[in-house]
Amino acid sequence: MNNSCIYCGATPQDKELSKSDIIPDALTNTKILNPNVCKIDHNSKFSDMFEYKIIEGLAFITNELDIKSSKSDKYHPFQQTIIVDGTEYKARISSDYELFKGNKFLKSLDNTSKLGPIDKVQKIPNIKYTEVNVNELEIEKRININIDLFFCNEMYRLIAKIAFEWFCLMNEINQKKECFSKIIQFIETGNDNGFVTIVNDKKVHSLFNNESPFEFGSHTILSYIAKDGSVNVLVSLFGISIYNVKLLSQKNSECKNIASLSSLTINSKHYQFRESDIAQLENKFRNSFNYIKLRYISIASPKNVKDTSLIYQQTYLLNYSVFQNIHCIDTPTDDCIDILSKKIENLLQTSSLTIRGLKRFINDNQLDKRTIELNPNGTDKKSIFLFYILMIIGKSSAKITSSHAFYKLMNTMFEENLVITDEYTENIKKELFTEKATDFISKGAKIILEIS
Ligand SMILES: [Zn+2]
C-alpha cells in the first residue's frame, strides 16, 4: 500500500507529502522526522496553530542551551528587561551583543529615556544626551518566566503531536489509521483533551533530570503499556516538564514496536531502540552480552561495545514498573509548579561547557575581530567564566586542534563538578585583569574557532 498523510490520508497524488520535524526544529539540535505528513494542512499550519507560541515562550531555554533553528540558522529572540545604570529598558534580543549592535534604540520602561549608538543620537535635534561607555557599565538582565506555558492547551497539542508522529515512525505506520482519529482531532482542533496529562511523579522526574543516561537538556520519548492495557507515550521536554500521552485504550495490530525509546541530546546525538514488547526487549538485551563464568560470579561484557543504546535499554527495563505505575494529573498543583520552577532555575544556572557554546560566545562578542575590552564592573558569572576558559586555552601549551583535546584539557582542569560561586567568580576575575590576559583571550578564541 502507498504511503499517505497519517493525519488525513492524503496520498502523494492528492497533496504534497513532507517530512515533519517531530520535535519542532527550533526546540532541538537533533532532527527526528516523520515523512508521512502533508505539507500544508498538517505540517506548516501546526506551526501557527500551536508550535510558534511554545517556541517563543521557551526561547529563554533554547538560548541558554545553544539550540538554534537549522532553518533560519538563528537563535530565537526573547523579551528581556535590561537594567543599565539604574534605568530599565525592554528588549527583544537573543544575545547581549545584539544590544549595542547596529541602529537599535532601547526605550526605557518609563518612556523618559532612550539608549542607542552615539552617532545616531547626535543626529537627533534638540535632545539632551549623555555619553556612556558600555564596557564600563553594569548591565543586569531579567527575564520573566511564564510557568503557565507548560500547562496551556497549545503545549498539550504540541506534546500530543510529538507522541503521535513519533509513535507512527517507530511502529512503521505510514498511512492514516482509524484508531487514532480522536487524538488527531485533538491535535487539529485543541478540543477534548482526553490524552495528555502532567506527570507528577518524583521517581520519573528524578530519572529524566540529568541522571545517567539522560543527558543535560535532552528530550526523551518512550512508549509502554500501562497496567490497564492502554498504550502510552511519555514525553520529557528538556528533562524539565514531563507529560504522559494515552494514545490508545488498548494494544492493536498497529502496535509493532511498543518497547521503544528515543533520546535527543543538545549535542546532536540521537540514542534509540525499538522492540515489539518488553519481553522481547529483555530477551534481546540479555543476548547482547557474552557471559564469562568465574568460580563465584559471572561477568557480562557487551558483544558490540559500540552499541550506545544498551544503557538506555537497561534503564528502560529497570524502570518499566515505574512507568506502569506513573502518577499523572490533569491540572498543575503547587507541588508540581514548584518542581518545575526548581528545574528551570537549575537549568539556567548550569552552563554546559561545549565547543558549540564557546563558538557562539566568541561570535556574539566578536572576540576574534575586535580589541577586547573587559568590563571591570561585570557580574555576569557565565561571561566571566567563558572569558576565563578562553584565556586558559590561549595560554595552554597543549595543541588544541580537536574537540577531543579540548575536553581532555577541560577534564584535567575541572575534575569534579564545578559550582561557579561569587567567590570563584571574583578569583578568576582577578586573573582576567592581569597583563596580557586579553591577548590570551584573542588567541584562545582563534583556537576554538578553528576546531571543526
Ligand atoms: Zn494531512
Confidence of residue 41 (pLDDT cuts 50, 70, 90): very high
CB atoms within 10 A of CB 345: 11
CA of 436 to the centre of ligand 1 (A): 61
Facing residues of 314 across strands?
none
Average pLDDT of the residues in 288-315 = 88
pLDDT at res. 422: 78
119-133, 237-251, 285-299: segment of lowest average pLDDT: 119-133
For residue range 205-225, what is the model confidence (pLDDT) as tens digits? 999 986 789 888 899 999 999
Residue 68's pLDDT is what?
A: 81
Residue 417 within a domain: yes
* Domain count within the chain: 3
Q: What is the pLDDT of residue 99?
A: 67
CA of 43 to the centre of ligand 1 (A): 8
Neighbours of 375 (CB within 10 A): 16
Residues 119 and 225 in one domain: no
pLDDT tens digits for 308-343?
A: 899 999 999 999 999 999 999 999 999 999 999 888
Domain boundary among 322, 347, 372: 347
Same domain, 311 and 205: yes
C-alpha of residue 163 to centroid of ligand 1, in Å? 17
* Alpha carbons 160 and 244: distance in angstroms, whole number: 9
Q: How far is the CA of 14 from the centre of ligand 1 (A)?
A: 10
User: Is residue 379's pLDDT more than 80?
Assistant: no
If one compares 89 and 245, the residue with the highest pLDDT of the two is: 245
92-141 residue pLDDT tens: 877 666 666 666 777 888 888 888 878 888 888 887 887 777 666 666 77
How many helices and strands (H and E) does the chain possess? 16, 16
341 and 357 inside one domain: no
59-63, 76-80, 228-232, 256-260, range with the lowest pLDDT: 76-80
The reply to whether 191 and 270 lie within a common domain is: yes
CA distance 430 to 80: 29
Burial class of residue 431, CB neighbours in 10 A (0-12, 13-18, 19+): middle
Which residues neighbour 92 within 8 Å (Cβ) at sequence distance 6 or greater? Answer: 77, 78, 79, 80
Cα 236 to Cα 263: distance, rounded to the nearest angstrom: 9
- Ligand 1 centroid vs 7 CA: distance in angstroms? 5
Does 184 fall in a domain? yes
Q: What is the pLDDT, as a whole number, of residue 350?
A: 65
Least confident of 104-118, 235-249, 265-279: 104-118
| CB half-sphere exposure, 428, CA atoms < 13 A | 20
In a domain, 73, yes or no: no
Grid cell locating 171: 511502529
Of 294, 325, 347, the residue that ends a domain is 347
**Whether residue 162 sits in one domain with residue 105:** no
Q: How far is the CA of 195 from the centre of ligand 1 (A)?
A: 20
Measured in Å, residue 35 CA sits from the centre of ligand 1 at 12
Distance 5 CA to ligand 1 centre (A): 5
Q: Do 139 and 83 sit in the same domain of this protein?
A: yes
Q: Is 281:254 a contact under the CB 8 Å cutoff?
A: no
Same domain, 163 and 228: yes
Range of the domain at 418: 352-450
Q: Residue 385: pLDDT above 80?
A: yes
C-alpha 32 to ligand 1 mean position (Å) = 19
Q: Do the beta carbons of residue 250 and residue 240 sit within 8 Å?
A: no
Q: Which of 69-73, 381-385, 437-441 has the highest mean pLDDT?
A: 437-441
- Distance from residue 193's CA to the centre of ligand 1 (Å): 20
The answer to whether residue 30 is domain-embedded is: no
Pick from 79, 204, 205, 69: which is nearest to 145 by CA? 79
* Ligand 1 mean position, distance from CA 17 (Å): 8
Cα 153 to middle of ligand 1, angstroms: 21
Residues 175 and 283 occupy one common structural domain: yes
Q: Where among 121, 144, 167 does a domain terminate? A: 144
